[in-house]
Amino acid sequence: MNDIPRHNFAAAPRLDLLDAQLASRFDNSFIRELPADPLRHDVPHQVRNACYSQVKPTPVASPRLLVWADAVGALLGVARPEAATGPAVDLLAGNRVLPGTQPYAARYGGHQFGNWAGQLGDGRAMTLVELIGPDGQRRELQLKGAGRTPYSRTADGRAVLRSSVREFLCSEAMHYLGVPTTRALSLVATGDSVVRDMFYDGNPQAEPGAIVCRVAPSFVRFGNFEILTWNDELAELKRLADYVIRTHYPELGEPSPEVYALWFEEICRRTAVMVAGWMRVGFVHGVMNTDNMSILGLTIDYGPYGWLEGYDLGWTPNTTDAEGRRYCYGRQAEIAQWNLIRLASALLPLIPDRAHLEGGILTYERVYGECSRRIMGDKLGLLEIDAGDDALLEDLATALHAAETDMTLFFRHLADVPVDEAGANLSDNALTAPLRGAFYGGDDAAGGHLGAWLRRYVDRVRRDGETPARRRARMNRSNPKYVARNYLAQLAIDALAAGDASVIDRLLAVLERPYDEQPEHEDLAVRRPEWARHKAGCSALSCSS
């Protein structure tokens, strides 16, 4: 299964060319190795003893290519379509299916907001094929918004432009920030209207439809295993686990009780690294249900996500979570661990020694703690965080909460605070001057809260003895200048809906270099404007898409 042939990629084929070179790189290992739903139609039903259902995308009225990620195309070894319409775009919209591909929707369950939700599955996503890229790696091409599947329940299987733009933008932004993530290849307008009640308040509206082509080595998630154990489908559970290990974790060895335990430990490690990455850049997933947790430790399913602007550990972008705040920024590490415990329960038939599962959870705690300390050291420009720094960190969080302070801007410009001997003798106002653009209450809003803290911070930095240039470079590698803020995404959505792709093209180009200064794009590195504070799509969002 893992012997992937090498190919000549001197000339990357277009998706609309049915040549032998492209077809020879197709694979369908998931459906070849795993049991299928015997019913082959899109009528919602309870599926048993299967990992997927074979499906067909539902054609759309007039597909048109809006955005293409050249870097993702290069990973796959396929070239950008030559035109905004035509055979290649028909493929990306689901209007055509290439010979050799076998589209399917995966079956999974999940715990949603802490409660078992039963069968969920790919209700509006369809994997077209696994494509072997120039690097020899297998990646799934999955259409999101391509129509009904057996898991759509009462929904239509479609997606709207606003959510599709947000998924495309954030997938690519997270990659360039260095956070493990799925990718996005294309964004296609369907020409159809999709009716959605954005805030579930009884005001449905017709919105333009769109389809994203998502790319990942696998879209298997915790819930794929949960549904099998929950329904006592243990033979299928073992087949799925063996498939994932052999295909995506071959370095662990042939599946066995010992390898299953090592595999769970590695999932825990990867999840810890991913969530630490979220916390570093101020990303809030918004809906960390177990069906939205990748078995590969990738950020998956970009829905009502958000970026921490005013520093607030209790902030959630998800209107559904506004009361309980289960998935707020400050609880993400805790919830990831809770989700891993649910996965451990699902894998218990394969790993009967609970001590091995407990060891995986301990690995999560250790790795997350190590990552967090290293990250905080880099963000603050300290060589190492030790116990003596606890009070400094706690007082910083208090100060940032006391006056609404933009997280991204604060940490980015903290590198500009003078820490040499002259800086140690500056007034509070002079010390806070490089940070004033981060204060939502005005330029001087946080001076009284941060001045005393900055003086302690300068003393702490000086004890390390690192050169200012090295400290600044290290901080700027950890603290991005540009992130995919919700209001920027909304500006791109509004422009694209009006036929203007220049806004999203510029934003994507800037987000490919989030740690670089890019002074010509300074307007994209400022705090959220007041008009966006309560505007739909710019602050809180719902799961409606």
What pLDDT is stored for residue 8 in this prediction?
Answer: 39
Cβ-Cβ contacts under 8 Å for 216 (sequence gap 6 or more): 139, 140, 142, 182, 183, 294, 296, 298, 300
Region 254-265: what's the mean pLDDT? 97
Instruction: Give the count of alpha carbons within 13 A of 390, CB side only.
Output: 2
Task: Give me the sign of the Cα torsion angle 34, 38, 42, 48.
Answer: negative
pLDDT value of residue 255 = 97
Residues 180-236 pLDDT 10s: 999 999 999 999 999 987 766 678 889 999 999 999 999 999 999 999 999 999 999
In the predicted model, is pLDDT for residue 18 greater than 80?
Answer: no
pLDDT over 70 at 111, yes or no: yes
Whole-angstrom Cα distance, residue 209 to residue 187?
11
Compare 146 and 23 and report the one with higher pLDDT: 146
Kindly give the residue spans of alpha helices, DSSP state H, lying in 306-446: 332-347, 354-380, 390-402, 407-414, 421-424, 428-432
Q: Cα separation of 146 and 95, whole Å?
A: 9
CA distance 156 to 149: 9
Share of the chain residues as helix, strand and coil, in percent rounded to the nearest 5: 45, 15, 40
Place of tokens 């694979």: 27
- What does the pLDDT average to over 432-460? 82
Catalytic residue among 27, 291, 301, 406: 291
Which of 17-21, 74-78, 437-441 has the weakest average pLDDT? 17-21
Three-state SS annotation for 286-316: CCCCHHHCECCCCECCCCCCEECCECCCCCC
Alpha-carbon distance values, 209 to 152, 154, 157, 163, 516 (Å): 17, 18, 11, 10, 34
Q: Cα separation of 520 and 504, whole Å?
A: 16
pLDDT of residue 484: 97
- Among 21-25, 334-338, 381-385, the range scoring the smallest mean pLDDT is 21-25
428 is catalytic: no
DSSP state of 65: E
Is the pLDDT reported for residue 21 higher than 70? no
Q: Is 400 helix (H, G, I), strand (E, B) or coil?
A: helix
In this structure, are residues 351 and 265 in contact, taking their beta carbons and an 8 Å threshold?
no
Q: Which residue has the tokens 């967090």?
A: 372
Burial class (CB in 10 A: 0-12, 13-18, 19+), 99: exposed
Tell me, rounded to whole angstroms, the distance of Cα 213 from its chain centroid.
Answer: 15
Residue 1: the pLDDT is 38
Residue 270 is which amino acid? Answer: R
- Mean pLDDT to the nearest integer, 380-389: 93
Instruction: For the chain, give the mean pLDDT.
Output: 92
Q: Would you state the pLDDT for residue 544?
A: 56
Q: Facing residues of 294 across strands? A: 221
Residue 246, pLDDT > 60, answer yes
Instruction: State the Rg of the chain over Cα.
Output: 24
Phi, psi of 449 (to 5 degrees): -85, -35
Q: Give CA–CA dist 160/409, Å, rounded.
A: 31
Q: Minimal CA–CA distance to 126: which of 99, 110, 100, 107?
A: 107
The pTM for the full model equals 0.94
Of 27-31, 424-428, 535-539, give the range with the top mean pLDDT.
27-31
Q: What is the mean predicted confidence (pLDDT) over 369-387?
A: 95
